Structure 1
Amino acid sequence: MKQPVKIVEVSLQPGDFHFGDADTRIRTLLGSCVAITMWHPTRRIGGMCHYMLPGSLPPSDRLDGRYADEAMDLFCRAAQRHHTRLQDYQIKLFGGGNMFPELSEKPSVAERNVAAAYQLMARYNLHLCAQDLGRNGYRTVIFDIASGHVWVRYQCLTG
């Protein structure tokens, strides 16, 4: 009799990054932050980042997943470790919700985060498979690496 596979549940906090295999499910809660999921359909490996801001300050010795550009560098390193190319992954984007619609800051942090995600897709020549970005509210995101499916629960904020 075949033993059931034990699923490893990983919860990302803002600034976290995780890359795993088919035994992994990753979840996070997003407001103005953006999550990028990358899934390799043949190898059934992939990851998710939860970045808070579009770009990093002057670079440090260690990559920081709080920033979109450095989170993408973490994906690049993970793909290299697994002898894969970023272009072979299915990419999905989530988040960038306006958490304070009554404020008139333009562009908002959420809008800048969404713009950074699109810029990264273009810079790395990545094909975007799905997205759920913007609006007023927050999202719970669950990414199942075994199947590549991503479930999103959106909660609207009035305003």
Structure 2
Amino acid sequence: MIESSVPLQYFDREFQVEAVKILPGQYRAARGGAITTVLGSCVSTCLWDPLTRIGGMNHFMLPGDTASPGSPWAASARFGVYAMEVVINEMIHLGADRRRMVAKVFGGAQLLSGFDKLDVGAKNSEFVLEFLRVEGIRVLAQDLLDVCPRKVHFFVDTGKVQVKRLGLAPSDPVQKREREYLRRLAVKDGGGDVEIFAKPK
């Protein structure tokens, strides 16, 4: 299941708005304020009901179809599906209507060297677009794939999203955080110790 840690609440001085920062495995649904995150290989979906102005965002690492039976990722492959359903359900609980929801999707960069066969970013991107297509949720904007991290600000009152592409520095904290998250998923779901490595230069 999605991580139970509570998203960080803070006042965003740049935009002068109450905000919540979510990390991999977290989500938030809200009326008003902003929801922010920083993405590498992960994907975030910003969902919005334009009538009630209720919005939600998730941040997931693994889609619903990356793992084969017996893989250490098999028990975790539900993360993308769960991340989508839980944020939709939280929005409905606040008064949103699933039939009115629109989406903007971001992330899926190829940052995790050593994962070429899995290509987490591409799988995440494929998954989220197919999920939204099947569910009949219109995608208003997307910024997916590439090789750069992204910082995303979702302003719930207006449905506006601001995306900033970030430079990739050595020992990038986004890569470090995602690798650590993958390790925790593998151990938590019975995959044992999984070595996550960078390619030789």
TM range (shorter): 0.7 to 0.9
| Runs of at least 5 residues in structure 2 that lack an aligned partner in the other structure | 1-15, 65-72, 170-201
Matched, 1:91 2:103: yes
| Runs of at least 5 residues in structure 1 that lack an aligned partner in the other structure | 1-5, 60-65
Larger displacement relative to structure 2 (27-36 or 106-115): 106-115
* Residue 63 (structure 1) aligns with: none
Q: Go from structure 1 to structure 2 and tell me whether the alpha carbon gap of 1:149 and 1:107 turns closer, same or farther (over 3 Å shift).
A: same
Which of 29, 37, 46 pairs up with 2:46?
Answer: 37
* Superposition deviation, residue 42 in structure 1: 1.5
CA distance in 2, matches of 1:32, 1:19: 22
Aligned residue for 1:70, secondary structure, equals helix
* Structure 1 segment 1-159 matched on structure 2, within 5 A: 7-22=17-32, 24-55=33-64, 57-58=74-75, 67-100=79-112, 103=114, 105-155=116-166, 157=168
Q: Is the 8 A contact 2:54 2:95 kept in 1?
A: no
* Superposition deviation, residue 157 in structure 1: 4.5
Q: Which has the higher helix share?
A: 2
Q: Which has the higher strand share?
A: 1
CA distance in 1, matches of 2:88, 2:147: 31
Aligned residue for 1:147, secondary structure, equals coil
* Superposition deviation, residue 13 in structure 1: 0.6
**TM-score for the superposition, normalised by structure 1:** 0.81
More contact order relative to length (CA 8 Å, sep ≥ 6):
1
* Superposition deviation, residue 7 in structure 1: 3.6
Q: Deviations over 1:46-100 (max 9, x none)?
A: 11000110028559xxxxxx82100111133124313433230220000001114
Q: Go from structure 1 to structure 2 and tell me whether the alpha carbon gap of 1:73 and 1:104 turns closer, same or farther (over 3 Å shift).
A: closer
**TM-score for the superposition, normalised by structure 2:** 0.65
Q: What root-mean-square deviation, in Å, do the aligned CA atoms of Structure 1 and Structure 2 show?
A: 2.3
Q: Is the 8 A contact 1:136 1:156 kept in 2?
A: no
Deviation beyond 4 Å, 4+ runs, structure 1: 56-59
Give 1:73's aligned amino acid: E
Report how many aligned residue pairs link the two structures. Answer: 145
Aligned residue for 2:133, secondary structure, equals helix
* Residue 3 (structure 1) aligns with: none
